[in-house]
Amino acid sequence: MVRLVLLLMGIDYLHRRARAILWTGALWAVAGIAIFIDALDGALHFPIQFFAWLFLIEGLATLVVAWSGVGGQRVLRYVKGIAVVGASALIFAGHHYGHFLLSMIFGALFLIDGLLQCVSAWVVRYRRWHVALAWGVAELLIAVFFFQPYPTHYVGTLPYGLGLFLFFGGLNMLTLAARVRRLAANPALRGSSRPGRLPEADVAGTMPEEDGGGNAAPAPPAFDRAEWDGPPADGEHALTVHVWTPTGSARTPAQSPPIIRRYIAAVDANGVISTGHAALETPEGIYISLYPAVEIDRSPDDFGRLLRATADNDVPGLFQPDYATEAQAWCPSTTRVRIRNYDPLRLQAFWQRYRRNTTYNLTHRNCSSTVAHALEAALEGAVGRLHGDRAGWRSLLRVLVTPELWVAAQIRKRAVTMAWTPGLALDYARALSMLADPRPFAWRKAARAARTTLARLRQQRRDWQVQDEDAGSARR
């Protein structure tokens, strides 16, 4: 999550607030430790009923406005609302059974995530897999702590969970502040061109011209608005992520389970494995699509060996020239995600560097990882492009409370520790699109819809009154 906040806000914005972020992170970490320790002796000073009421109100409010979401956003809100209301119900159910069930849920979540992390690190063997394996073991130990009754017989489950949340959230903020302080310059290009043609400047990474005082000129917003009601229209200027899902690109109907064929691969009736594909396209003529130069044997017997992100699995790759050529040679993309708020100059600089290496690796450097890295380069400093120098604490808070930030962070974590797949790249692009092109807050959208409905009802009432008066005049 730290990386995504750094990416979206931009270094310049965070540099000015590094000290405040540092102290906030320290406060969160200390509060998390204090709450956790307080729950260990069984004599709780934690206001558990108060938090249960907060959870219930938050969950009900989320369910009330969930209908206003778009696509996956609506599903995410319903899941979040039901989960929060369920958690509050378990707390109110009280004494033993509610706390026991809540503790089992927390333990199961840590257990599943820890097992996935350990297994993926051991199988894929990507760079720094030892660190990921250690974190997976730590999650397994936390799961054991939630499963066993000592020392409070599950009564302290909620304080434990909140304490861990505050502690790890504080660590993330401390890490963010430390990273920002170490970076002396903004890696993003300030003053990047507005959506449109690329400027006739050096796109290899040069900074824009500075004012006479030696400082970069204040960056105005690149858009005339800071939120949109939906995705870009077909004719609107936007970056496009093309995804060929494993099921959509399989030659015969897939036989594998739904989750497997959605996120990993689809196996057809002939036993052939299809992993799908991903590409990125911009109106400026940039097309990023990495593919192996020679088709890789993806039979079930060899597929396990190919999962290793090691140099012996590197093969020559090639970049497709454009979408039309690729679609004609294969098939049109199954799904598309379009984003307005991107930096073509930054993307072009990334593309010039990245294309010098044509190596392809099924798990370490594939089509989906290439698209994910390119998308991150294009969206760097997205909040600054929306607000310019007017971006303040409110902008950071909005990013932090957007559910898609957590979703994108979890997807990225899972992809980095396992492998980027077209399914993960699709969900990642969808989540980032909600952060780069923000939608109105659900309560604001619901309030606007209510005002529109009330205005329509008032107008209908006036129309009926006029009709009654006209009918009365006609009778006289």
* Residue 22: how many other CB atoms lie within 10 Å: 17
Per-residue pLDDT, 374? 95
d(CA 219, CA 390): 9
CA atoms within 13 A on the CB side of 457: 6
Per-residue pLDDT, 240? 95
Six-digit token string for 278: 């991903």
Name the 3-class secondary structure at 77. helix
Residues 6 or more apart whose Cβ sits within 8 Å of residue 41: 151, 152
- Whether residue 262 contacts residue 423, with contact meaning beta carbons closer than 8 Å, is answered with yes
Per-residue pLDDT, 290? 92
CA-wise closest residue to 275 among 242, 249, 238, 307: 249
User: What residues does 254 pair with on adjacent strands?
Assistant: 268
Q: Residues in the chain, how many?
A: 476
Residues 6 or more apart whose Cβ sits within 8 Å of residue 78: 63, 66
Per-residue pLDDT, 280? 96
Per-residue pLDDT, 150? 81
Supply the pTM of this predicted model.
0.73
Strands 315-319 and 290-292: antiparallel
User: What residues does 318 pair with on adjacent strands?
Assistant: 291
Helix H or strand E encompassing 456: helix 442-475
User: What residues does 66 pair with on adjacent strands?
Assistant: none
- Whether residue 110 contacts residue 167, with contact meaning beta carbons closer than 8 Å, is answered with no
Per-residue pLDDT, 36? 85
Per-residue pLDDT in tens (0 to 9) along the chain, 476 residues: 777 887 888 777 777 778 888 898 899 899 889 888 887 866 556 677 777 787 788 778 777 766 655 555 567 677 777 888 887 887 777 666 777 888 898 899 899 989 988 887 787 777 777 888 888 899 999 999 989 888 777 777 778 888 888 888 888 888 878 877 776 554 433 333 334 333 333 333 333 333 444 444 455 666 767 778 778 888 889 999 999 987 755 555 555 556 665 566 656 555 556 678 899 999 999 999 998 887 765 555 555 566 665 676 778 899 999 999 999 888 889 899 999 999 999 999 999 999 999 889 877 888 999 999 999 999 988 887 887 767 777 787 788 778 788 888 888 888 887 778 888 899 899 989 989 988 876 555 656 666 777 777 788 878 787 777 777 676 66
Per-residue pLDDT, 283? 93
